Chain A
Amino acid sequence: MMKVYDAVVIGAGHAGAEAAHALAKLNKKTLLTTLSAEAVAFMACNPNIGGTAKGHLVKEIDALGGIMGEIADKATIQVRMLNRAGGEAVHSLRAQVDKNLYHRLMKERLEETPNLDVLETEITDILFEDGAVTGVTTAPGDVIKARAVVIATGVYLDSRIITGGYERKTGPAGFMRSETLGKKLAERGIAIRRFKTGTPMRVLAGSVDFDEMELQPGEEGLPTFSALTEGGVRNDCNCYLTYTNAETHRIILSNLDRAPLYNGNISGIGPRYCPSIETKVVRFKDKERHQIFVEPEGTDTREMYIQGMSTSLPFDVQEQMLHTVKGLTHAKITRYGYAIEYDCMDPKCLNAALGVKGFSGLYAAGQINGSSGYEEAAAQGLIAGINAARYLDGAEPVVLTRGAAYTGVLIDDLVTKGTEEPYRMMTSRAEYRLRLRQDNADIRLMDLAHSVGMSDEKRYVKYLKKKEEIAEIKALLPALRFTSDVVSGAGINPGDSQKTSFSATELIKMGVKIEQILLLAPELERFMTESVVTAVIDIKYAGYLEKEEKRVREEARLNGTKIPEDIDYSAVGGLRIEAREKLVAVRPMTVGQASRISGVNSADITVLLIYLKKFGTNK
């Protein structure tokens, strides 16, 4: 009997899991397919979730009703807050995660989700009628009907794994790859390109001299990724820091002729931010040593991840260079590092809803879109899932703006600017960095989540409470005054001020830390910590936030001006040729998006606005 679903999600990695969960949550009968049930939400590379900008993404996913944050909290074995010295806007939560546990918990969660079926099968083609999705075909030739499809195939399309002169035609970690689907996409006119990335070796904990390395313990008292997590997370595993040295570098340099990255065997474009050790040594010759972090892969395994030594050098060279590093001199490798090359799409073929332009009902998320990273994939998966569901409902897509979320920056960068390397989220990419913080992800996004049906009761009630408390605290703080004696008694340096007393607001603006404010003002204890944190940061950054707010509002006017999908740019008089070409290539959904395309200037935007207004296609 033919299977009939509302939607099919191809691939059950971090993007696919969120997409399928969102679709099911929005009451769409959903099928999630995977080449291997053992590869569901598999962490193929580093065993951590979060970090700079990525931690922000996870908080946003949680605010939008996604599941990565919840599962990550449950699988956490060590947690830290990065960037304490950088300022509150860039505080970034990072968790070491038990990768097998994460996989198991996510798989279980998906299996338990109503409206969602998980099926191990290979999808070889997507079926269309009149440009609209009608279903998919499986490798054995069965047709599964669905009006919406999310492609979340990760690095599995025509992938190739390379270590030295040895290569295997598989997906990561030996999982089966997909050989047909990529070709079918190309046949349908979607631009396919080749990217590469890599992973370091794993070693056996028993063979590592931990006492020769610097200990990196976790931190206590940190917030969690998910608002639903209660009672904190597990935090009893350690990471270790060590360094490469001159001998390591000598071995690498003398074996460059055997390095696939340098002997022409790898042609895919690799990410600059995730360089292999051979790339680092070649590009930064003056650097005497590079950091190596040794991190546990989980609690049910003795394997350790050697962060900083991503490589595709031959097996014997990997052994040699690893053994020059302090603490790893007789480390036993359990898995060698490798480079992986894979097919992905040029994300400019997507619209801002993550829909593939020219194909109704077809969405894409994750590494297929040229991104990299678990968190980036999950954030896209969530939005693609929500928008696939909204497509089925005939509703307007959800498009997050750059001023609303890192997720918005991520998607806008991909679909508007495109990317020439696997794209990683960085805080420097966000122009509203002081506003897009992890502490206020819920404040920024939960009204939206609620309105599209993604928020659950528990999260939403907590959010409303937090919002109320923030308002209360903001009203309270200016009225709380402390004498300069009390202030200096609390160990706060009041500077050269002649004032005899300070309001809490003044102290915050002077840079006094949240913990110290809490000590001075016990009346704040009745509020949730997260409410105090957001209120205090908002006050500290008030002037800056106002400026950002003003720019966001200006941008919102352009973002609110839609461009009809069928616009004929050749009919828009007055556009410069370059601008016309770029607009035709990107086909932006809004004038705001158009304004961010490089090569489109403000005069072009004005001409476009006038054209849209003249033809009454815009309100």
Chain B
Amino acid sequence: MSDLIVGTATARGSSAVSIVRISGDNAAETASKIFFKKGLDLAGAEANKMYLGKIVAGIVSDKAFCMYCRAPKSYTGEDVVEFHLHGGRVVAEAVTEALMKLGARPAEPGEFTRRAYLNGKMSLSEAEGVEAMIAADSEAEAAAAYRALSGELDRTIRSVASLLVEAAAATDVALDYPDEMIEDTKPQIYDALSKAKSTLERVIGTETERKMTFDGISVVLAGLVNAGKSSLMNALCGADRAIVTEYAGTTRDVLRERLEINGVKVTLSDTAGIRENAEGAEKIGIERAEEAVRGADVVLFVMDGSVPECDEERALYNKVKTRAHIRVKNKGDLKDYPREADVTVSCLTGENIDKLRRLIAEKTGIRAMANPPLVRERQLFAAQGALRAVDEALDKLVSGTPDIVSHHIKEALALLAALTGDDAAESVVDEIFSRFCVGK
């Protein structure tokens, strides 16, 4: 009997495959709501076997492997399902989110391992190691939580919590002192809840804002071979990151670099240039490039301005133009053949590189954010849950009884208390006595 937790087993970001796993009650039943293979009933299926099928998670629909490890023969000793997905954040994130919607909660740091230990899946000799790991985890966690909650975000979360405490006290005072509370506290409750709601919405932010904060924006350089993509990458990063030679097709694999634009994380990916008749490693590189373009938030379509436009370039542009993109004419310092472009740059002189940064910022909607959204999945989970509960409370304020209204407010408070570590119940009692004149 343990609640369902979800976590990404592989490192975030650039990997060929990412693994999302769940552990706990109803793992197989939950998994079968997003993973489909004809004739397969996961819960009854042979365990420890990889099944190739289709994963459908929100807008994402992709091929994936799925493996079910039946309790107790699993890493944690509970029912575990692993999804082996295509790399990159998009699919893994969508799958995690879909699983959360189905009732899984984000695992705490090290929680899979802890469960493994507590369920007797690890030997006693490993105990010290686990303990050390947890201690380290909790310190890291505390430090991370402190960082996340220090400053602006901390104050915001606490202000929401105190609004909720106010609303809960205004609800509960009438329940604990029905004889004495003659004034109607409904307007006060409504007011506090509405304020809490709008602040929470601001804190949670939009999908885009969250992505920007969590993972950054993915910007992919694409273009024909020898268009100067790697030079442009180095120019944007301000460092020699990619190997640049005069030979066409130098870049084979996808190369990624992180940088910041307007304070927002951007993952810049340099890809193999596209050309017909490529073979071997270069051919694979091109396939990966095409895949990277498909996962990009913005594509920088790089053109070599020193050579005339060709059919191949036009054909490639037709593939790219359906996506958010910026046309960059490169080698502006050399010969200048006419092209339709959004910006002409020179990697050699650095001309217009800043302008390109600005264009990227505009294109992606990156702006300096007044309220940074929550930075960790657990915090997001808590804030989203709190928002849902506040909405319910507002609804029940009209159509329900105060005991139910209070139930929802406290649900929200408990979720936020997990972030602030405050004792919600005690604060409500304190608030009742500081605000209201009750008692015989």
Contacts and interface: CB of A to CB of B under 8 A. Distances in A.
Contacts of B406: 428, 433
Interface string A587-604: 000000000001001111
A428 B437 CA distance: 16
A252 to B, nearest CB: 14
A465 interface: no
B437 A290 contact: yes
B135 A574 contact: yes
Contacts of A92: 178
A428 B429 contact: yes
Contact of A606 (B114, B124, B128): B114
Nearest to A510: B399
Contacts of B400: 87, 511
A598 B117 CA distance: 26
Contact of B433 (A83, A273, A541, A602): A273
Interface residues of A, number: 57
Interface in A415-444: 417, 426-429, 431, 433-434
Nearest to A310: B440
B134 A574 contact: yes
Contact of B3 (A283, A426, A554, A576): A554
Contacts of B176: 52-53, 426-428
Nearest to B408: A544
Contact of A603 (B137, B177, B437): B137
A86 B175 contact: yes
B135 A602 contact: no
Interface in B158-203: 168, 172, 174-180, 182
A87 B402 contact: yes
Contacts of B402: 85-87, 90
A271 B404 CA distance: 28
A614 interface: yes
Nearest to A92: B178
Contacts of A603: 134-135, 137-138, 141
Nearest to A614: B127
Contacts of B168: 428
Scoring B1, B437, B440 by chain A CB atoms within 10 A of each residue's CB, the highest score goes to B440
Given A428-B432, A553-B1, A614-B127, A86 B174 contact: yes
Interface string A262-304: 0000000001111100001001100100110100000000000
Given A82-B178, A606-B134, A283 B425 contact: no
B437 A86 contact: no
A293 B404 CA distance: 29
Given A90-B175, A610-B134, A291 B433 contact: no
Contacts of A274: 439-440
Interface string A90-116: 101000000000000000000000000
Contacts of B175: 52, 83, 86, 90, 427-428
Contacts of A271: 439
Contacts of B429: 426, 428-429
Contact of A280 (B131, B182, B410, B437): B437
Interface in B252-308: none
A462 interface: no
Contacts of A36: none
B322 interface: no
A377 to B, nearest CB: 17
Interface string B408-433: 00100010000001010110110011
B407 interface: yes
B315 interface: no
B132 interface: yes
Contacts of A601: 138, 421
Contacts of A428: 168, 172, 175-176, 406, 425, 428-429, 432
B403 A602 contact: no
A293 B179 contact: yes
Contacts of B134: 574, 603, 606-607, 610
B180 A434 contact: no
B215 interface: no
Nearest to B183: A287
A553 B2 CA distance: 9
A73 interface: no
A477 B432 CA distance: 39
B237 interface: no
A92 B175 CA distance: 10
A335 interface: no
B43 interface: no
Contacts of B130: 610
Given A557-B1, A614-B124, A87 B439 contact: no
A92 B178 CA distance: 10
A174 to B, nearest CB: 22
B131 A610 contact: yes
A86 B178 contact: yes
B239 to A, nearest CB: 39
Interface string B81-115: 00000000000000000000000000010000010
A602 B418 CA distance: 10
A616 B1 CA distance: 21
Nearest to A281: B437
Interface string A178-200: 00000000000000000000001
B118 interface: yes
Contact of A273 (B3, B135, B439): B439
Interface string B199-235: 0000000000000000000000000000000000000
Interface string A52-95: 11000000000000000000000000000011011111101000
A273 B438 contact: yes
A602 B141 CA distance: 11
A157 B403 CA distance: 39
B401 interface: yes
Contacts of A598: 423
A544 B117 contact: no
Contacts of A607: 131, 134-135
A324 interface: no
A238 interface: no
Nearest to A200: B440
B131 A573 contact: yes
Contact of B401 (A85, A284, A291, A307): A85
A317 to B, nearest CB: 19
Contacts of B132: 574
B397 to A, nearest CB: 12
B182 to A, nearest CB: 8
Contact of B440 (A87, A307, A511): A307
A429 B428 CA distance: 9
Contact of B410 (A89, A431, A604, A610): A431
A46 interface: yes
Contacts of B437: 275, 280, 283-284, 287, 290
Interface of A: 46, 52-53, 82-83, 85-90, 92, 200, 271-275, 280, 283-284, 287, 290-291, 293, 307-308, 310, 417, 426-429, 431, 433-434, 511, 541, 544, 553-554, 557, 573-574, 576, 598, 601-604, 606-607, 609-611, 613-614
Given A87-B404, A291-B182, A434-B404, 10 more contacts: A52-B177, A85-B402, A273-B439, A275-B437, A287-B437, A427-B172, A428-B428, A428-B429, A431-B410, A610-B127
What 5 pairs across the A-B complex have the smallest Cβ distances? A87-B401, A603-B138, A87-B403, A428-B172, A272-B433
27 contacts: A46-B440, A52-B176, A52-B178, A83-B175, A86-B402, A88-B401, A89-B403, A90-B175, A90-B403, A92-B178, A200-B440, A273-B433, A275-B437, A291-B180, A310-B440, A428-B429, A429-B429, A431-B410, A433-B403, A434-B407, A511-B401, A601-B421, A602-B108, A603-B135, A604-B138, A610-B118, A611-B131
